[in-house]
A and B are shown apart, each in its own frame.
Chain A
Amino acid sequence: MDFVTPGIGLIFWMCLVFSLLIVLLKKFAWKPILTALNERENSITEALKSAEHAREQMAKLNSDNEAMHKQAREERDQILKEAKEMKDNIISEAKKAAEDEGKRIILRATEEINKQKANAISELKGQVASLSVSIAEKLINNQLSNNTEQQSIIASQVNNLNSNQQAIA
């Protein structure tokens, strides 16, 4: 069982070699390697994080945009609605005003007409009176000259009067 008894020489050399190996590797290999790996790991994590952040920002911007769009649309709708209301109001007001104006014009026209009519009637009355007077004059004149002629003149004058009256009415 020779090979299960550790030899002092190998123990010595193993201690020496292994401690040298640990010291050298720790200083010149593990330190730079682990640092580099850590740095890479950190930079990757960092990059992922910033990508995630950027994505979040994007999403936020998008949702902001969306909200703004929505708001703008609402505002637009609101404005359109108001404009429409205003238009309707204006139209209806204008209509009402026009109607009123029309009514007033008609009223005034009617009044004017009535006035004119009254004037005309009174004038006619005056004319009829004067005509009657002139007819009567002529009748009297004709009667004075010719009976028959007097008669025809009166008839024609009366006819005239009738047609005149009709025209006025």
Chain B
Amino acid sequence: MRIKRVNKGLSIFGKLKILALIISFALFLPISSFANEPEVAKNHELQIEGATASNSHANAHEEKLVKFNPGKMILEHVKDAHDWHILDYHGHSVSIPLPVILYDNGLHMFMSSKFEHGHATVESKGNYYKLHEGHIFKTDAAGTIEVGEKNAVTNPKPLDFSITKNVAAMFVGAIIILLIFFSIAKSYKKKGNAAPKGLQSLIEPVILFIKDQVILPSIGKKHYARFVPLLLTIFFFIFINNLLGLIPIVPFGANVTGNIAVTLILALIVFFVVNLNGNKSYWKHIFMPDVPIALWVLLIPIELFGVILKPFVLMLRLFANITAGHIIILGFFSLIFIFGEKNVAAGYGTSVLSVAFTLFMSVLELLVAFLQAYVFTLLTSLYIGSALEEHHHAEEHH
């Protein structure tokens, strides 16, 4: 409900007010989240704590007296993986095996369970592979990992096209997106001009908001229509994957939009769409700016740098925001086990606080999920708009 209110705010006040909204949101939320905590928090605790608790449990069991390492746990979550870890139970890691696809003079396909979490060497078509710290290396039959300078592994790496956790989560996200929008498309076809109903009425305002309040004013009436499908796809891909990343149970909760490869592709798409659509005045602005010719030496490299910087920043912003959200939430939970290791009671005590903070962060992440999708779409539209602008005032827009 709160998100909805903010949504409405966005359309009414425009992007300049977002900052103020976030601040008021942040100020207002702690009070309300504490007030709501008891009943909601308990559920939450059971779900997330369960998974994380057994995780640390397993670490302790498996590596005998090895301390709970929050950094490792968090990074393992944030990073991609070859199997989908659910929980550890009495030292046994329970995870969903995912297909490994390697290209190494031919395709090699097998399930990731064969690696036995990095303990076993897998033979495929005469080659031997081993999983080491999340990466697959080509080894000899004994599975020797050679470590060179600075702890870098010197074994050759095959091209890894595996269906990793993020790829699988992305499939899930894509399927959910397809299901949502196909069903909506169907109801549009069926109902014609009638008022929207159900899921349709939930999504329609968002589509209209993105189309009419973000894309149309940024690109302009003349050209905007042909970019609407792409930008809507980008928006909903980011938004829905962001939201799915917040659900802490399989098959959700992966860090898809917080993965640099995913944001890299999104940014590359933006880069190509913007520059392939750039018109004469866009390129003139870059290569023949309206300044004395003596300054061109300075300005042209800056403009060219800007061309690359824009999508690069888009990539980093999305990646950093979503990853940071995941790290913070996991960090709060790690607190429970850090204190729990010292004193069980302290662990329980901390859990109350951690759950409260995590709840707060989760709600904030709901906002961030929308906001990042919105910002990405808005900036992309603005870049496209500036590339298509007829006049010489491209920079006045951003």
Interface residues, chain A, with chain B CB atoms under 8 Å away:
2-15, 17-18, 20-22, 24-26, 28-37, 39-40, 43
B71 at the interface (CB under 8 A from A): no
Chain B residues with Cβ under 8 A from A7's Cβ? 80, 160, 164, 261
Contacting residues, chain B, for A9 (C-beta < 8 A): 101, 159-162, 164, 167
| B229 x A6 contact (CB < 8 A) | no
B228: which A residues are within 8 A, CB to CB?
Answer: 30, 34
Q: How far is the CA of A35 from the CA of B191 in the complex (A)?
A: 13
- Give Cα A11 to B160, complex, Å: 10
B237 touches A21 (CB 8 A): yes
Known: A2-B79, A43-B193. A21 touches B159 (CB 8 A): no
Q: Given the complex of chains A and B, what is the CA–CA distance between A31 and B75 in angstroms?
A: 41
- A32, closest chain B residue (CB): B185
**Which of B4-12, B169-177, B285-293 lies at the binding interface?**
B169-177
A15 touches B75 (CB 8 A): no
Among residues of B, the one whose C-beta sits closest to the C-beta of A4 is: B260
* 10 additional A-B residue pairs with CB within 8 Å, beyond A20-B174, A30-B233: A3-B78, A7-B160, A10-B164, A18-B237, A24-B178, A25-B232, A30-B229, A31-B229, A32-B189, A36-B189
A40 CA / B187 CA spacing, docked (Å)? 14
A30, B225: Cα distance in complex, Å: 11
Residue in A10, A21, A35 whose CB lies within 8 Å of B261: A10
Say how far B383's CB is from chain A's closest CB, in angstroms. Answer: 18
In the complex, which residues of chain A have a beta carbon less than 8 angstroms from the beta carbon of B259?
Answer: 3, 6, 10
8 A Cβ contacts from B109-144 to A: 133-134
A18 to B188, CA, bound (A): 24
Q: A8 to B188, Cβ gap below 8 A?
A: no
A100 to B185, CA, bound (A): 101
Q: Interface residue tally of chain B, by bracket?
A: 35 or more
Choice from A3, A14, A31, A33 contacting B170 with Cβ under 8 Å:
A14
- For A6, the closest partner residue in chain B by CB is B261
Contact of B233 (CB < 8 Å), options: A6, A25, A31: A25
Q: How far is the CA of A9 from the CA of B166 in the complex (A)?
A: 10
Determine whether B247 belongs to the interface, using a CB cutoff of 8 Å to chain A: no
Residues in B whose Cβ lies below 8 Å from that of A14: 170, 261-262, 265
Given contacts A7-B261, A9-B167, A14-B261, whether A25 and B189 have CB atoms under 8 Å apart is no
Is B80 in contact with A10, judged by CB distance below 8 angstroms? yes
Cβ–Cβ < 8 Å partners of A35 in chain B: 188
Find the residue from A8, A9, A12 having the highest chain B CB count within 10 A.
Answer: A9
Bound-complex Cα distance A26 to B230 (A): 8
Partner of A32, one of B162, B166, B188: B188
A3 to B265, CA, bound (A): 15
In the assembled complex, which residues on chain B have CB atoms less than 8 Å from the CB atom of A15? Answer: 265
Whole-angstrom distance between the Cβ of A43 and the nearest chain B Cβ: 5
Q: Interface majority SS on A: helix, strand, loop or mixed?
A: helix
> Is B161's CB under 8 angstroms from A33's CB?
no
A25 and B177: CB pair below 8 A?
yes
Within 8 A of A (CB), among B202-221: 204, 207-208, 211
Q: Which 7 A-B residue pairings sit nearest by Cβ, starting from the closest?
A: A6-B261, A29-B181, A36-B188, A10-B261, A30-B229, A26-B229, A13-B167
Contact B237 A28 (CB under 8 A): no
CB nearest neighbor in A for B102: A9
**Assembled-state Cα–Cα distance A7/B189 (Å):** 40
Task: Flag if A22 contacts B161 (CB, 8 Å).
Answer: no
Contact A36 to B174, CB < 8 A, known contacts A6-B260, A25-B181: no
Minimum C-beta distance from A14 to chain B (A): 4
Judge whether B243 is part of the interface by a CB distance below 8 angstroms.
no
- Is B269 at the interface (CB under 8 A from chain A)? yes
Bound: A100/B7 CA distance, A: 100
Contact of B174 among A4, A21, A29, A43 (CB under 8 A): A21
Check: B182 CB closer than 8 A to any chain A CB.
Answer: yes
Which B residues are in CB contact (< 8 Å) with A11? 261, 264-265
B184 an interface residue at 8 Å Cβ cutoff? Answer: yes
Give the distance to chain A from B283, nearest Cβ to Cβ, in Å. 26
Distance in angstroms between the alpha carbons of A30 and B161 in the assembled complex: 30
Distance to closest chain A CB from B315 (angstroms):
9
Cα distance, A36 to B133, chains bound together (Å): 51
Please report the C-alpha to C-alpha distance between residue A66 and residue B207 in the assembled complex, in whole angstroms.
49
Whole-angstrom distance between the alpha carbons of A6 and B269 in the complex?
16
The distance in angstroms between the C-alpha atoms of A68 and B3, with both chains bound, is 60
- Residues in A with CB closer than 8 Å to B262 are 10, 14
Contacts of A26 in B (CB 8 A): 229-230, 233
| B163 at interface by CB-CB < 8 Å | yes
Q: Is the C-beta of B54 less than 8 angstroms from some C-beta in chain A?
A: no
Contacts of B265 in A (CB 8 A): 11, 14-15, 18
Q: Are B232 and A30 in contact (CB under 8 A)?
A: yes
Q: A21-B237, A25-B229 are in contact. Are A36 and B193 (CB under 8 A)?
A: yes
- CB of B192 within 8 Å of the partner chain: yes
B259 closest partner in A (C-beta): A10
- 290-346 of chain B: CB within 8 A of chain A: 319, 323
Q: Give min CB distance, A23 to chain B, whole Å.
A: 10
